[in-house]
Amino acid sequence: MKKAKKKVFVGMSGGVDSSVAAYLLKKQGYDVVGVFIRGYNIDNCQDRDAEDARRVAEHLSIPFYTWDFEKEYKRHVVDYMVAGYKKGLTPNPDVMCNREIKFGIFFDRAMRLGADFVATGHYVKKKNNSLAIAADKNKDQSYFLWTLTAKQIEKSLFPIGDYLKPEVRKIAKKAGISTAEKKDSQGICFLGMVSIKDFLKSYLPEKKGAVLNLKGEKVGEHFGAHFYTIGQRGGVGNLKHEKGQKNHVPLYVAKKDVKKNILVVAEGSDNPALYEKSVYLTDVNFNYSPSTIHYPLEVSARVRYRQPLFPAVLVKEKGGWRLDFKKSQKFVAPGQSAVIYLPSEASAKEGVKNDIMLGGGVIE
């Protein structure tokens, strides 16, 4: 009796990465089903993406469906982002999209329909049922996947994690996949060409407030502290510092207080006011547990996407978790994710060459 193929539902976005993911899985002998996830989108580019995904599925001769999660996306991702900015945080909608949509309702529905696995076009490696940094360090997306549980990782496949982006495009071209040369999407997916500030204006009112320097002196006005993020340069408003000065030192947002509607700016990108030595974490999730682990734990970490990994120490306290940086880090924004990896030496002991993701949390 012929053994049944393992069934995998692939989230196909209409881009080259998920197209190649579906192609590779079919080539490996899986029973592949393509699914376009319709979320919330304000410039209606989803129709074009859905058609691109359908065309690829037809080329690969695999079943294809569109699942409409627009209401859920609006509630779990868009509303979450707006609420975060209203509180003065800098939320990460991509992390929430993965948690609530791709590895939430999409994952759950696929499993109910008999899937053995789900798959996406994320650049991340799966090693021994844990996540590790992708072969393409510039494209690595492990930063956005720290909320995944061990069960979700076990039932997920990431076929392009071992490839560089140029190799993915080359595979697509050779296979005759129509999205081979399609440009990558930039920024927050549901915004399209709309700026985040213009989007937030439809939810949060403009409200003039003071811009202060580090001495507490008023140097200008802004249009609402909730529109800005730590480390932001420019776009702050009418600043005396910049008037008539051709060679002025650039100003960066060092602090913000949405209750008082105040921004504090610092001169120069290396100003000490822009650096933090440690952070406290909330909503901590560990998606990997090494065989033996003791705290405080030497780790690698990043507090921004594409930031180079830096050494840190993860400390377990009575009230929660603290991440101490070996070297102060700048532009640390509350609401963003701090993602934690076992350093290379520890990874090697666990039989994995790449840095294994330990988990992460939200910066308080």
Catalytic residue annotation:
97, 189
Render 226-285 in DSSP notation, one character per residue: GG--TT-BS-S-EEGGGTT-TTPPPEEEEEEETTTTEEEEEESTT-GGGEEEEEEEEEEE
Structure tokens at 230: 């730590």
Q: What is the dihedral of CA 157, 162, 164, 170, to 10 degrees?
A: -70
Find the DSSP H helices in the chain.
16-27, 46-60, 70-73, 79-86, 93-97, 106-112, 150-154, 165-174, 196-201, 344-349
Whole-number Å distance between alpha carbons of 83 and 71: 17
Per DSSP, the three-state class of 292 is coil
Q: Looking at this protein, which amino acid is placed at residue 75? A: R
Whole-number Å distance between alpha carbons of 227 and 88: 8
The DSSP letter of residue 181 is T
Q: Is 322 exposed, middle or buried (0-12, 13-18, 19+ CB in 10 A)?
A: middle
Contacts of 204-207 spanning 24+ positions with Cβ under 8 A? 204/82, 204/85, 204/86, 207/261
Residues 6+ apart with CB under 8 A from 57: 12, 22, 34, 63, 64
Whole-number Å distance between alpha carbons of 105 and 90: 25
Structure tokens at 308: 């180079």
- Roughly what angle, to the nearest 10 degrees, separates helices 165-174 and 16-27? 60
Per DSSP, the three-state class of 202 is coil
> For residue 351, how many other CB atoms are within 10 A of its CB?
9
